[in-house]
Copies of this chain bind each other. A is one copy, B any other.
């Protein structure tokens, strides 16, 4: 099992918690999905999630421009709202940073965050600031969704078709470009942009909540293999994914040294690359016609089908192999 998920289970066991659908009263959904859901009365439910973004873990102090750090810290948190079909509204931020970053670095960071807030239609409503040895950001986001319309990851049923948005592995390839100092290489600006300044399918998420066209939905933040395993586990189902249908990023020949090529093949990046913040959704076969009316339908690719067996299989040619969850896990050394 994914080590971060084990840790979350341990925390939830030891601290008074509300787990998933065991919520009651005002709280509709607790720990274990992309966000928690609060249903305070009135026409809307409110969706809440929080996300850490740390120097040396989620971004590199020297390689990542501060405006990307500001932009991405908010967008990746908001992605958890989109994965519930909610409209991003407000955020709170704790920001810890060394004195040396309070000048131009912070200005660029805030400019990037402002750009993300305008793009998402979000506004800052509170927070906490303090000094620290390295930059540490935690963002809590609030989204709004019509009452009882929020989507979750536990509704997938055998026979449902599995879709993803966009190309898989772009952000991971972008990260490798940054690490290898190949950011100026032409023809890869799209890939780099998705890593530094990701766009997320806000309108599609909102449409899915309105139309209730999907049976389950979550965002792909840690990589398809890991996040599909989470969706299947929450829905108590399995899946068959077809390698040939995966919308892979194009990896230029000779970009990587021979030794590292297998790790960075288009297929490996699509299966295990994190940080894309696209959506993973499942749809009843008879609802695929409705799905064609979705905003951004052209960005959707059907990659397989939900099964009743609990295994997750990758179909390639004539073979079907178990697909191990090898996406991003902060507690696994890479």
Contacts and interface: CB of A to CB of B under 8 A. Distances in A.
Contacts of A57: 96, 130-132
A291 interface: no
A297 to B, nearest CB: 30
Q: In the assembly, how many copies of this chain are there?
A: 2
B128 A52 contact: yes
A4 B129 contact: yes
Interface residues of A, number: 71
A130 B94 contact: no
A35 B54 CA distance: 24
A244 interface: no
A324 interface: no
Interface of A: 4, 7-8, 10-12, 14-18, 23, 26-27, 30-31, 35-36, 38, 40-44, 46, 48-52, 54, 56-58, 89-90, 92-96, 99, 102, 106-107, 110-111, 113-114, 117-118, 122-134, 136, 138, 140, 142, 144, 330-331
6 contacts: A10-B106, A11-B93, A14-B111, A38-B46, A50-B128, A56-B132
Given A40-B46, A129-B330, 19 more contacts: A7-B102, A7-B129, A11-B124, A15-B124, A16-B122, A16-B124, A17-B123, A18-B123, A23-B125, A31-B125, A31-B126, A48-B125, A48-B140, A49-B92, A50-B94, A50-B140, A54-B96, A54-B132, A132-B136
